[in-house]
Amino acid sequence: MELVAELWQENFKKRFTWPPTLNDMVRRNFEKRSAAKMSQLMQDARKDLENKPTWMGERMWEQLKAIWNSSNFQKKSEINKRNRNSMDGASLHTGGSIPHRVLWKKMKETKGEDPTFSDFYFRTHRTKDKNWVGIHAESAYEKFENKKIELSSEASTFVPGEDEADSQPTKVMPSDIDIWVDVVGRKKGRIFGLGSIAKTLNPNQPSMRSDSEVDALRSQVHALNESLQKQEQEKLLMKQQLQRQEKEMAETNRNLTFLMQHLGFVGSSSRPSSSPQLNDETDEDSEDVGSDHIE
């Protein structure tokens, strides 16, 4: 069987490509799907031991028939059969070998949105003529419906003395998945009726939040809103203060420029020029002094 799995994997690599970073994820997914497919092939082959499957070698077929006909295998098979029957159809569903997550995906693609829990459960646990696959499947859904009605009634109850328009529900209505888990419980990490989609939907347990938890969440939201408003106000004040400082600095620069121009430090030489009139008068005085000296 390991050789067959290796051949499948090599053939898969030839037909498909993916980034090297996804090697581990692709390998795990391939092994999981291959195991499910091989299990289904073995079940189909075991139903008709007179005819060898075309995909199996003669030697392997004879070895498998010897195992399936052994007393040890027959004993284990009978025990497993009794266990399944004792659960009143708990392990039965209409999906066959198709994983629940694949059925969920197909229903989502058909409707354009996630199917409701009820629609999915009907698809996997009722036949085409709308008969349940077993007593356990029917009983579990009836308990789910009763619990849902009970919780819906509690969630729609309003506090006495308050107007119905202003009052808030006393409890938060949980999701259908959470209600289902609350009804059927978990067993070894598995949830009846959900199959492989249990991890994808990630239901919570317990399924309901208490009133105190809801009040605490509301208080946190209110505190966060107040903190955000305070930050916005501080940001606005800082912006206004910065604009005021820029305006004052511009005014100071204008005053400084005007003062420097008034003192002659801007637009002219730092050394004032001599008056032409004063120079002429000095020259005339010098000539007069010279004339008097000659006489």
Q: Please state the rounded mean pLDDT for residues 3-18.
A: 80
* More confident: 194 or 123: 123
Confidence of residue 91 (pLDDT cuts 50, 70, 90): low
Confidence check: pLDDT of 155 > 70: no
CB 86 within 8 A of CB 80: no
Give the distance from CA 270 to its chain's centroid: 73
Closest residue by Cα to residue 101 from 33, 190, 35, 197: 197
pLDDT at 242: 92
Whole-model pTM?
A: 0.40
pLDDT at 170: 54
User: Which two structure tokens, joined as six digits, stand for 220?
Assistant: 């946190």
* Cα dihedral 30/31/37/40 (nearest 10): -160
- What residue type is 269 in one-letter code? S
User: Sign of the CA dihedral 50, 56, 62, 67?
Assistant: negative
CA distances from 32 to 5, 22, 36, 142 (A): 11, 15, 6, 33
Pairwise CA distance, residues 103 & 123, whole Å? 9
Pairwise CA distance, residues 189 & 202, whole Å? 12
pLDDT at 245: 92
Mind listing the pLDDT tens digit for each residue in 249-279? Answer: 998 888 888 888 888 775 544 444 444 444 4
| Other CB atoms within 10 Å distance of the CB of residue 183 | 19
Mind listing the pLDDT tens digit for each residue in 160-177? Answer: 555 554 555 556 778 888
Mind listing the pLDDT tens digit for each residue in 16-44? Answer: 888 888 888 888 888 888 888 888 888 88
pLDDT at 277: 47
Pairwise CA distance, residues 77 & 42, whole Å? 14
Domain positions in the chain: 89-158+167-208, 210-241
CA angle 146, 152, 157 (to 5 degrees): 135
What values do phi and psi take at 188, rounded to 5?
Answer: 55, 40
CB 98 within 8 A of CB 39: no
Average pLDDT of the chain?
Answer: 76
For residue 197, what is the DSSP state? G
Pairwise CA distance, residues 185 & 159, whole Å? 31
